[in-house]
Structure 1
């Protein structure tokens, strides 16, 4: 696991819990973060969205409003970070999951808007998670596996490392970006499924 110094940073979760989120929260605590309930008091807000097709995110407009409230509070305190956890389909839609693709693309657009509005004080980014397997498929769609250049599903630890990159206090110049943790799926995607 990547090591960063969060020095007691307050961390809040908004959204659904899943094995990837559980791994992220455990890693943030292991690196000195403290989990808080009140999102407006957070130094780092993790906005968790459904990572598997067939699940429905909350209305992206509501989520943007929630994140905007937190971003405003962070800006008034002098800074913070918001990391959206989305499916890789946010950056590359899947024909077989149109609604899921639209919802994730809307969340990605909202994330980029927040980054423009609240920069440079608040850094807002996203991690686009592709096919991740634990004992089961916890993110993505099994159909993705045949189009992944690295030839395998990812692990929860690989997704966690990307979130830690965005939370690292040494990362001060990245905002408005989605880092695809998808084994190259968005680069080698076959549009015929």
Structure 2
């Protein structure tokens, strides 16, 4: 084994992703965009998947290609089971070293009025898509004896939340799916883990951040005292994709500024 002799070489050997191809779902904005850019900085080519992902110029393409890496856009409606199956078959025909199941959605209504349609839609997008993609891409990883899968869980994988019964159910299930796949695939050289983001300053939380009462209540609960940036989540994902995390299987890593420790 070659031993790194400088700090740069040491970091490169632990966190470098050169020669790998990473699939990032929900890559058009927010956390997914930050993950795509961060993995490209570490040396990975990126296949970015989102609903209506532009085949031409996009923020994701610009971010990845600025790092000198190749970007491949794929469009998929994660609530459409036929489209998800087609995407899974497409990805299974490629060499995918890293799969980031980040694409997701949320519907906010009280449980007593939360419709079947909303519940099913959220579970299809957040949970079923992650399982189908993991199953089909995971098969190819097992054949090669290597691969990394990182799911996006949530603080609501641990807590109940308010007015989001479908979302909480899906993210609790993502935590369970992560552990189930890790149990089966760790011995085959495939790492399956998840990150659980806290409150992140993205478009999805814009209204919360603009509400002085809710925003103060949230910040008062976060020991770090501020909202996360999408890059904070991306850094944790990079770690779980890297050689530094080769012996981590089935972990749900909170990236929440200490919220769950409060």
Same fold (TM over 0.5): yes
Return the alpha-carbon distance in structure 2 between the equivalents of residues 59 and 87 of structure 1: 11
Return the alpha-carbon distance in structure 1 between the equivalents of residues 174 and 27 of structure 2: 14
Structure-to-structure mapping, 1:130-169, within 5 angstroms: 130-134=198-202, 137=205, 142=215, 144-169=218-243
Q: Which residue is equivalent to 2:42? A: 31
Q: Helix, strand or coil: the match of 1:7? A: coil
Unpaired runs of 5+ residues, structure 2, are: 1-10, 48-71, 73-89, 109-117, 210-214
Q: Which residue is equivalent to 1:18? A: 29
Q: Is the 8 A contact 1:83 1:126 kept in 2?
A: yes
**Relative to structure 1, is the Cα distance of residues 68 and 148 closer, same or farther in structure 2, using a 3 angstrom cutoff?**
same
Q: What TM-score comes out, normalization by structure 1 length?
A: 0.84
The one of the two structures with greater contact order (alpha-carbon pairs below 8 A, sep at least 6) is 1
Name which of structure 1's ranges 172-181 and 45-54 shifts more when overlaid on structure 2: 45-54
Higher fraction of helix: 2
- What is the Cα-based RMSD across aligned positions, in Å? 2.6
1:92-147 CA-partner distances (Å, limit 9, x unpaired): 22134222111110111111111111113100000101101157737x88454332
Q: Which residue is equivalent to 1:80? A: 147
Return the alpha-carbon distance in structure 2 between the equivalents of residues 53 and 157 of structure 1: 25
Aligned length: 186
Greater Rg by CA: 2
Unpaired runs of 5+ residues, structure 1, are: 189-193
Q: Which residue is equivalent to 2:102? A: 48
Q: Is the 8 A contact 1:14 1:47 kept in 2?
A: yes
**Relative to structure 1, is the Cα distance of residues 145 and 42 closer, same or farther in structure 2, using a 3 angstrom cutoff?**
same
Name which of structure 1's ranges 81-90 and 8-17 shifts more when overlaid on structure 2: 8-17
Q: Is the 8 A contact 1:11 1:34 kept in 2?
A: yes
**Relative to structure 1, is the Cα distance of residues 59 and 27 closer, same or farther in structure 2, using a 3 angstrom cutoff?**
closer
Q: What TM-score comes out, normalization by structure 2 length?
A: 0.63
For residue 130 of structure 2, the aligned residue among 52, 63, 87 is: 63
Higher fraction of strand: 1
1:34-79 CA-partner distances (Å, limit 9, x unpaired): 1246533210000014376649351624431321221111010111
**Relative to structure 1, is the Cα distance of residues 106 and 16 closer, same or farther in structure 2, using a 3 angstrom cutoff?**
farther
Q: Is the 8 A contact 1:116 1:176 kept in 2?
A: yes
Q: Helix, strand or coil: the match of 2:224? A: coil
Return the alpha-carbon distance in structure 1 between the equivalents of residues 101 and 201 of structure 2: 21
1:185 aligns with 2:259: yes
Q: Which residue is equivalent to 1:191? A: none
